[in-house]
Amino acid sequence: MKTFLLASVLAVTSFFGAASVTTKLGEGEAIVGKWLNQEGTSHIQIFKATNGSFAGKYFGKIVWLKEPLKNGKPKVDDLNPDPKKQAVPLLGLQILKNFVYDADDKEWEDGTIYDPKNGKTYSCNMTLDGNNLNVRGYVGISMLGRTGVWTKVQ
C-alpha cells in the first residue's frame, strides 16, 4: 500500500512538473503567427527556427503588402544600403532576425529589425500584450528608440 501511495505521489508530481516545463517552454512561441504592422501596410509572419545554429531563435518575414506593386512591378528593397540587395522583392523579405525569448522578463530580445522604408537595421526587443505585439526598435540603448504596436492577424 505504501508503495502504491508513493508511486501515485511521484506520478502526480511528475505530471505537474512536466506540465509547468511545457508551459514555460511554450510561452516563447506566443508570438509565432501573422502580425499586421502599425501602419496597416504589411503582414509579418513570425516563426521559430528549428535547424542549425539558429534553432530556437525567432525570425519574421513580410508575407503580405497592402500595395505590393510600384509602377506595375513588385516592390523591391530599393533603399537597402547594399546595392546587390536593392532588387530583392519586399514580399518574402526577412525583417526580424535572431530573437531569443527571455522567460524572466517575458520579452523577445537580442534581435534586429530591418526597416525597408529607410534601409536601416535597428536593435530590437518585443513584448506581448494580449493580441498586441510591442516592437521596439532602437540604436544603442532601448530608451533611444520607437515602439510600434502590431496586431495579431486571425
Q: What is the pTM of this model?
A: 0.81
pLDDT tier for residue 26 given thresholds of 50, 70 and 90: confident
Residue 62 counted as domain residue? yes
Residue 25 counted as domain residue? no
- How is residue 119 written as a grid cell? 534601409
pLDDT(11) > 80? no
**Residue among 133, 147, 137, 112 nearest 43 (CA):** 133
- The phi and psi torsions of 98 (rounded to 5 degrees) equal 65, 35
pLDDT at residue number 54: 95
pLDDT tier for residue 21 given thresholds of 50, 70 and 90: very low
Residue 60 counted as domain residue? yes
- Facing residues of 70 across strands? 73
Condensed to tens digits (0 to 9), the pLDDT of residues 51-109 reads 999 999 999 999 999 999 999 999 999 999 999 999 999 999 999 999 999 999 999 99
- How is residue 144 written as a grid cell? 533611444
pLDDT at residue number 79: 97
Condensed to tens digits (0 to 9), the pLDDT of residues 143-152 reads 889 999 999 9
CB–CB of 60/47 below 8 Å? yes
Residue 81 counted as domain residue? yes
pLDDT(24) > 80? no
CB–CB of 108/124 below 8 Å? no
Residue 8 counted as domain residue? no
Q: Which helix (H) or strand (E) holds 150?
A: strand 145-152
Q: In the block, which residue shows the cell 501515485?
A: 8
pLDDT at residue number 95: 98
Tally the domains of the chain: 1
Residue 103 counted as domain residue? yes
Residue 47 counted as domain residue? yes
Residue 77 counted as domain residue? yes
In the chain, what is the straight-line distance between the N-terminal and C-terminal CA atoms, in Å? 52
Task: Mark 84-109 as b/e (b = at least 16 C-beta within 10 Å).
Answer: eeeebebeebebbbebebeeeeebbb
pLDDT tier for residue 27 given thresholds of 50, 70 and 90: confident
CATH code of the domain containing 106: 2.40.128.520
Q: What range does the domain containing 123 cover?
A: 30-152
Q: Please calculate the CA angle 79-81-87 and round it to the nearest 5 degrees.
A: 55
